[in-house]
Amino acid sequence: MAIETERKFLLKHLPSALLTRGIHICQGYMVNKKDRVVRIRLYGDKAFLTIKGPSCNASRKEYEYPVPKQDAMEMISLFCKKPLIEKTRYQIEFKGFEWVVDLFSGSNKGLVVAEIELDTVDQVFEKPDWIGQEVTHDPRYFNSNLIKRPYSTWK
């Protein structure tokens, strides 16, 4: 069984390290319920099918499998609700941890979040100076909810 433990934050400002290459991501949801999510993701020139269980204290079961890119494109077209999640992902190393910064586009343009994956919920880590408010437990920031209520519709 795979367990994903991650924490999510808003940014105070964009780090200069973002001036490096990012990877474009397009993802759609075939199943999008509170207790389970099935998503298909195009990640650069690769594609993945991901199944996630419910979140509990920043952790959840997650299973991810590579799929042929052409199959993923068809699944997105045929089975995923719109709008899709579109973003550019940047990876930044800081004090022994990899931070992922997502700059959203499309209907979520303007939203920028950073995530860090941890081994345990209580694992200690140092935050870079560009990390702001934590939004790990705010469901508005879940990608699966951003297709239901895009950032562009928030007031």
What are the residue numbers of the active site? 29
Q: Are 75 and 47 in contact (CB under 8 A)?
A: no
Residue 21: CB atoms within 10 Å: 9
DSSP symbols for 30-48? EEEETTEEEEEEEETTEEE
* Burial class, 48, CB count within 10 angstroms (exposed 0-12 / middle 13-18 / buried 19+): middle
Structure tokens at 18: 């973002």
Structure tokens at 113: 């979040």
